[in-house]
Amino acid sequence: MRNNGYQQFFIACRIWILAVLINTFLGTIFLSIFYGGGMVSDLILFGSFFGMIVSLPALVLLFVVINRCIARKFKGITLFRIVLTSAVFLAVIAWLLYMKYFKSFDQENIYFLLIAIVSGLTATSTQYRAFIRLTDYSEPFEELQP
């Protein structure tokens, strides 16, 4: 079968990894500009590590969303819209987990929420063609014959 769980999980992993990388990059730029750029390598290292740990539940939930949409045979554009909307909610959840971990809900931390949302939307948007290919439910002619 063409739409197996491995392909769905691979797409979810690509979105997750890309979102963590974009989040780390944008967060590092933000912190370097506003708080000095002396610790860029530490920011990248710790940003990537904590970003992966905190957003790991988002990977699992993203896979479940993709899997359930494929099981219902949604069209590619519908799947893309659902996953794009889910990415926003999952970015907010990951941000809340991150802020709870550091126990700092300051006013300036709202910028990190915006960075997380942009990261999730950008990472999901890059996978549009993968969603279209994943939802190509047409069967070859040979398989349709009795």
In tens, the pLDDT along 12-70 reads: 999 999 999 999 999 888 888 877 767 778 878 888 888 888 888 899 999 999 999 99
What is the widest separation between alpha-carbon atoms in the chain?
69
Q: Decide if 48 is inside a domain.
A: yes
SS3 content of the chain, % helix, strand, coil (to 5): 80, 0, 20
Q: Decide if 74 is inside a domain.
A: yes
Q: Decide if 143 is inside a domain.
A: no
127 near 11, Cβ under 8 Å? yes
Lookup: tokens for 99: 């802020």
In tens, the pLDDT along 91-119 reads: 998 888 888 777 666 666 788 889 999 99
Q: Decide if 142 is inside a domain.
A: no
Lookup: tokens for 50: 């904590």
Number of structural domains found in the chain:
1
At residue 3, the pLDDT reads 57
What range does the domain containing 17 cover? 5-137
Element (H, E) at 52: helix 40-71
